Amino acid sequence: MLIIFGWEKDIVDIPNFTQCYCYNCDDAKRWVLNIEREWVSFFAIKTIPFLTKRKIYCERCGDTIGINHHQYLTFKKGPIELTHFIEHAQLAKKTAIQRTYLLERRAKIDHE
């Protein structure tokens, strides 16, 4: 009996997963959830999910942050944790001087 197996890949974008400030493009923008799933297939039918990668990215500038399964489940419950996560992840890539500047600039924008 001949068994034909292979790999299939799904990539799904969920637009407007959340809306929050992006420190990269300096505006409150929509963030997209991207889910990439690899499957083991038999006879070209997706059978066993093998690997799932999730990331969120700013719809405007494409700044991307990877998220794990536990974070994904937490973020599905409420946008507040996700907003804090995005802010922390974006600012973690910056130096202390850049962080201070970006936080001051955002505070100015929030008060306008």
Contact residues for Zn ion (CB under 5 A)? 22, 24-25, 58, 60-61, 63
State the SS3 of 51-96.
EEEEEEEECCCCCEEEECHHHHHHHHHCHHHHHHHHHHHHHHCCCH
Residue 21 near residue 106, CB atoms below 8 Å: yes
For Zn ion, the closer CB: 77 or 110: 110
CB of 21 to Zn ion, least distance (A): 9
Minimum CB separation from Zn ion for residue 28, in Å?
10
- CB of 32 or CB of 39, closer to Zn ion: 32
Residues, the chain, total? 112
Output 40 or 61, the one with its CB closest to Zn ion: 61
